[in-house]
Amino acid sequence: MNLKIKNALISVSDKENISSLLKIFKKYNIKIISSSGTFKTIKKLGYNCIEISKYTGFKEMLDGRVKTLHPKIHAGILHDRKNKIHKNEMDKQKFPSLDLIIVNFYPFQNIVRHSKNSKNIIENIDIGGPTMVRAAAKNFKNVAIITNKNDYKSLIKEIEKNRGGTSLKFREFMSSKAFGLTAYYDSMIANWFNKKLNIKFPERKTLFGRKFKELRYGENPHQESSIYINDYNDRELGFTQLNGRELSYNNYNDIFASLDLLMSIQGKSSTIIIKHANPCGVSQNKDPLISFKNAYACDPLSAFGGVIACNYKINKKIALEITKNFLEVILAKGFDVEALKILKRKKNLRILDISKFKEKNISKIKNFDGSFIIQNKDQIILDNKKLKCVTKLKPNKKELNEIRFAFNVCKYVKSNAIVLSNNFSTIGIGGGQPSRLDSCKIAIQKAKRFQSIKIKNCVAASDAFFPFPDGIKILINAGVKIIVQPGGSIKDQEIINEANKSKIKMLFTGIRHFNH
C-alpha cells in the first residue's frame, strides 16, 4: 500500500546531506516539522519549516531533554489510519498525521571513544530520538522511518517513484533497519555501563556489531558470511590492507589467531606462522630475519599457504625471503618502501599493516544453535607463585625464559597441545588430537623431519597434565631435557619418578591452557 507524505518530522544530530531531502519535499509540498537545531539549519538553507515547540505548543525544557516527547508527536506517528476510533480521537484533538520520520541519534558512540567524562557520556544518551524511531518503526504500515543519512538517496528515489509517497515494502524494510539501530544503540549503552561497573557476566548480555564487509563466502564456498565489528569504533579493524585480494572468512580466522599469539609475546622480534588457526612456527630473536627463518623452518610444509604475523617492520631482506614461499597473508608493523615493492609483485598476497592495531576485547564468545558461551581471555602465561620444579634437577634462568616462551605458545595451539622449543623457536608442534600421546608423537615427528639436530636438550610444553607416563617417555626418548606441564594427574608421582630416572627437568605450572 502506497501512502502520500503530507507531514515529515526531521530531528537529526548529524545534519549532513539534508539539503537533498529538502528539495524533494518542496517539490511534493511536504510540510516539515523539526527540532530546534535542525530547524535553524533548514531555515539557513532557505526552506520553510515549523519548529517542534511551535507545532506542539510546548517549549523545550530541561536543557533539551524534553522536546519531542509530546502526545501530538507520538499520536501523529502511532495512530492507525484505518482505525475509526483512532481517527475520531485524532480529529477531536486536531492532531495531524506524521507520515515520515527522519531521525539520527546523539553521538553516544563517538563521545565514548573520545571522552572518559561519565556525565558527558550520559548526557549523550538519546531518549526522544529512539522513542520516535521505535514508534514509527512499529507503525510502518502508516509511517516511513529513516535513521541513516546513507538512506536519503533511497528515500528520494522512493518518493519520486511514488509521486510523493512511499510503498509498504520500503516502509517495512526501513522499519527493520530502525529496530536494528535502536537495539544496537541500547546495546552499546548497556555494555558501557557493564564495563564501567566491572560487570563481566550481566544477567542479560547483548552484543552489538556493525557489518564491516560481506565476504565472498564462509569457511566453505557453500556457506554465506560477513564480518562485523564489535567496538565503539565500528568503522575499522585496526589494521590496513595494502595489497592483495579481499580477505576471506578463513583469512580473518587465521589473522585473529595470529594477532592473539603475537600480542602475547613481548620484547624481541617475533614471527608467528598460522595455518587453520593453529601455530605451525613461532620464533623470537633480536634479529628479525633470523626470527622469520626460524619460524618458517619449524614446519615449512604446514606453512605453505599460511599467514605470517610479525611484530617488527619488514625490510628488503625479509621481503625477499618471504617471496620464496607461497603465503596467503603477511602482517607486520610497517614495511620499507623497497620491501613493499618486492612483496606487491605477488598480486594475490594480502599485505596488512598492523602498526596501529591494539587489543581491546578481553572476552571470548562461542555461538551454538540458540545459545552462546562467554569466558575471559586466557591471559596468564606463568604464575611464578604456582611454578614448581618437581625434579631433582633444576632449570637455570635462561631455561626458565625458554620454558615461559614454550608454555605461552602452547596456549594458542589447539588441545591437546605439545610444543617443542629450542633457543626461543618452536621446532615441533602437535595439537588438535583427542589423545595427548598422539600430540607427543606428532610434535616429535615434525621435529625429526625438519629440525632433527635441535631436538636434543629442547624444551617440551604441554597445555594440560600427562595422564600417564607414556607421553613423557616418547619425549624423553627423542631427546627432550625439560618438560613443563600443569600437573594434577593422579599419576603425577609416577611421571615425576620417570623424569628423575631419565635425569630431565620437569616443572608444574598449576595452570591449564586448553584451547578447543
Task: Return residue ranges of the chain for CATH 3.40.140.20.
Answer: 236-353, 388-508
> Is 276 an active-site residue?
yes
Rg (CA), the chain: 31
Catalytic residue among 15, 70, 276, 317: 276
- The fold for domain 3-196 equals Rossmann fold (3.40.50)
Alpha carbons within 13 angstroms on the beta-carbon side of residue 143 total 31
> Is 513 an active-site residue?
no
Report if pTM > 0.85.
yes
In 251-353, beta strands by DSSP E: 269-275, 278-285, 306-310, 327-332, 350-353
Q: Please choose, from the candidates 184, 175, 163, 168, the residue with its C-alpha nearest in 3D space to the C-alpha of residue 30.
A: 163
Query: Looking at the domain covering 388-508, what would its CATH class be?
Result: alpha beta
pLDDT tens for each residue of the chain, 516 residues long: 788 899 999 998 888 888 889 999 999 999 999 987 888 998 998 888 998 888 888 777 676 677 777 888 888 998 988 888 988 888 888 889 999 999 988 888 889 888 888 899 998 888 888 998 999 999 999 999 999 999 999 999 999 999 999 999 999 999 999 999 999 999 999 999 999 999 989 999 998 999 999 999 999 999 999 999 988 888 889 899 999 999 999 999 999 999 999 999 987 899 999 999 999 999 999 999 999 999 999 999 999 999 999 999 999 999 999 999 899 999 999 999 999 999 999 999 999 999 999 887 778 888 888 898 989 888 888 877 789 999 999 999 999 999 999 999 999 999 999 999 999 999 999 999 999 999 999 999 999 999 999 999 999 999 999 999 999 999 999 999 999 999 999 999 999 999 999 999 999 999 999 998
Query: Looking at the domain covering 236-353, what would its CATH class be?
Result: alpha beta
Task: Return residue ranges of the chain for CATH 3.40.50.1380.
Answer: 3-196
Please tell me whether residue 460 adopts helix, strand or coil conformation. Answer: strand
Residue with cell 625490510: 315
One-character DSSP codes across 79-107? --TT-HHHHHHHHHHTPPP--EEEEE---
Catalytic residue among 40, 74, 138, 448: 138
